[in-house]
Amino acid sequence: MNLITVTVIAVGLAMDAFAVSITTGATYKKPGTNHARLPRGLSGGQAFRMALAFGSFQAVMPVVGWLAGLTVRSFIKGYDHWVAFILLGVIGIKMIYESFKIKEAQERSDPMSAAVLLILAIATSIDALAVGITFSFLLAGSLAVAVIIIGVVTFIFSYAGFYVGKSAGHFFENKIEIAGGIVLLCIGVKILFEHLIANGG
């Protein structure tokens, strides 16, 4: 798993946070919003705060997964590519499935409150933990570089998502998660295919 693959995975993982950010941006859409419990309007500082939370958790979770993967790496060495395929496939299917669920909680509460922000940051980074497990036996390069890429990509997509949401509302959010899920599914298939070809099936 080289840095190009890691970058593509980072984009796929960022789609979940991107979709949540779009939803939040749409919720805060304009000053004078009808949501009485929400502050009026969305500032650049608020967008930065959520993007930083998402990017930070997305960078930390692969490290946790990597450490967990080290404990079982010796036991799955012979079929590690199948494990990567299954993990990425499950994550991809999960993202596609969740794209059809309405994120009502964000519209009922303030996404910028510390408690809700923490929950959202953890929820959008759980998939990165599973990816970290695959890193423990497939990553060909520096883990630090990989997690920095994942964190930065997520930060950029999350920050941009607010403004997409403010201008386009909820129109793109489920499509974004579907795209992310498809990307991760394709990476899983690619890893398995390369392994099977290299080993003659």
State which amino acid sits at residue 91: I
Q: What is the DSSP string of 47-62?
A: HHHHHHHHHHHHHHHH
Length of the chain: 201
Q: pLDDT band for position 82 (50/70/90)? A: confident
**Residues sharing a CB contact under 8 Å with residue 114, sequence separation 6 or more, in sequence order:** none
By CB atoms closer than 10 A (0-12, 13-18, 19+), residue 135 is buried
How confident is the model at residue 33, as a pLDDT? Answer: 46
The per-residue pLDDT for range 91-141, each reduced to its tens digit, is 888 777 776 664 544 455 565 677 778 888 888 888 899 899 888 888 778
Q: pLDDT band for position 200 (50/70/90)? A: low
How confident is the model at residue 109, as a pLDDT? Answer: 54
Widest distance between CA atoms in the chain: 63
Look up the pTM and report it: 0.77
Of 129, 154, 132, nearest to 16 by C-alpha is 154
The CATH code of domain 3-28+42-198 reads: 1.20.1250
Helix (H, G, I), strand (E, B) or coil at 186: helix
- Report domain extents, the chain: 3-28+42-198
The per-residue pLDDT for range 40-72, each reduced to its tens digit, is 455 668 889 889 999 999 999 999 999 988 887
Answer with the residue of higher pLDDT: 30 or 49. Answer: 49
CA distance 182 to 199: 26
Separation of first and last alpha carbons in the chain: 19
How confident is the model at residue 156, as a pLDDT? Answer: 96
